[in-house]
Amino acid sequence: MSETIFVALGAVAVLSALLCILQRNALAAAIWLVLTMLALAAMYLILGAPFIAAIQVLVYAGAIMVLFIFVIMLLNLGHGPSDIRGRAAWAGALVLAVAMATYLLRLGGYDPARLALELTGTSDLPASAVFATAEGARQAAEAQGVVGAVAGSLFTTYLVPFEVTSLLLLAAIVGAVVLAKKRI
Amino acid sequence: MLLGPALAISALLFSIGVVGVLVRRNALVVFMCIELMLNAVNLTFVALSRYHGVGGQLMVFFVMTVAAAEAAVGLAIILAVFRHTTSVDLKTNTLLQG
């Protein structure tokens, strides 16, 4: 049941991504991209990552895409001639994308058993034994709450990257303010 | 199991993002396609975090932070370019093309 819903949500995400790149109007493209991101958030929920689903809606659909739509409206785009390139660019892009998709779609054949086999190199252990720690961590996370599991790891193992993130955000704030000045 | 479908959907989304970057000339839409590719990779991280622990979800957290910083600075650059040349079309902004 959940797999059917997951694949249906994936189809929604892929279709709206296609419509996003084919829309002449930049604002319509942005709205289709928002739909892709909302479908992805629902997929994260099914995959057992409710915290990531929540910040996907808050940060991606809520903050980043609103910023995009704000800029599109500020620049008053969407009235000019089409910005889609000609046939030569399409041919090159499609050849590249089809080659890449056929290469990457082989990943679609993976299941936990094959993943465990490639990790350990032997087929002696069943997948449930190889991923026992991850499964145990997931059950502990369900016991201690959605945010607790992520936060526990974030403030211990990943503390230094987390602090570096704050520096990155500070640099981005300063950069955006400087670039948005009247004369640069 | 959901691993195979998740990885396949992620591959499709990434390829669509690549097509978008290559065929669009509007700098804003190209930027949106880059966000689409980041989202495709995030889906891979979340799908695999079921088997490798919570680290994959934290990587998505960091990718989102970088994407937010990138959107703020990138959109400010696009605004500055628009004020300079009154166009966001990549075809007309060829100052570096020699």
| Residues A50-83: tens digit of each pLDDT | 899 999 999 998 899 999 999 999 988 767 777 7
Q: Measure the CA–CA gap between B60 and B44, rounded to whole angstroms.
A: 9
Among B12, B34, B44, B89, the strongest candidate for a mutation testing the A interface, having the largest count of A CBs within 10 A, is: B12
Long-range contacts of B52-57 (CB under 8 A, 24+ apart): B52/A131, B52/A134, B53/A133, B53/A134, B53/A137, B53/A153, B54/A137, B54/A141, B54/A149, B54/A150, B54/A153, B55/A153, B55/A157, B55/A158, B57/A49, B57/A51, B57/A52, B57/A150
Same domain, yes or no, for A153 and A184?
yes
The model's pLDDT over A166-175, given as tens digits with 9 standing for 90+, comes to 999 999 999 9
pLDDT values of chain B reduced to their tens digit, one per residue, 98 residues:
788 899 999 999 999 999 999 999 889 999 999 999 999 999 999 999 888 878 888 999 999 999 999 999 999 999 988 888 888 888 887 777 76
Domain termination residue (choose one: A56, A79, A102): A79
Claim to verify: residue A126 and residue A136 sit in the same structural domain? no
Q: Given pLDDT bands bounded at 50, 70 and 90, which one contains residue A103?
A: very high
A133–B53 C-beta distance less than 8 A: yes
Q: Which two tokens stand for residue A143?
A: 């016991």
Tell me what pLDDT residue A78 has.
66
Which domain range does residue A150 map to?
131-184
* Same-domain pairing of A124 and A135: no
Residues of B in Cβ contact (< 8 Å) with A96: 18, 22
Contacts of B68 (CB under 8 A, 6+ apart): A59, A63, A64, A169, A172
In a shared domain, residues A12 and A49:
yes
Same domain, yes or no, for A1 and A43?
Answer: yes
Residues A47 and A71 in one domain: yes
Using alpha carbons only, what angle is made at residue A71 by residues A70 and A75, rounded to the nearest 5 degrees? Answer: 120
Nearest CA in chain B to A155: B58
> What DSSP character marks residue A78?
S
Which ipTM was obtained for this model? 0.92
Extract the tokens encoding A24: 């002449």
Query: Does A3 share its domain with A61?
Result: yes
Q: Is A169 found in the same domain as A157?
A: yes
- Which chain A residues contact residue B37 at CB under 8 A? none
Answer yes or no: do A70 and A98 share one domain.
Answer: no
- Asked if A135 and A121 sit in the same domain, the reply is no
pTM of the predicted model as reported, rounded to 2 decimal places: 0.90
Ordered by where they begin, the domains of chain B are 3-97 (1.10.287.3510)
Measure A124 CA to nearest chain B CA, in Å.
Answer: 18
CATH number, domain at A75?
Answer: 1.20.120.1200
Give yes or no: residues A43 and A19 share one domain: yes
User: Which of the pair, A116 or B23, is modelled with greater confidence?
Assistant: B23
Question: Do A111 and A138 fall within a single domain?
Answer: no
Total number of domains in chain A: 3
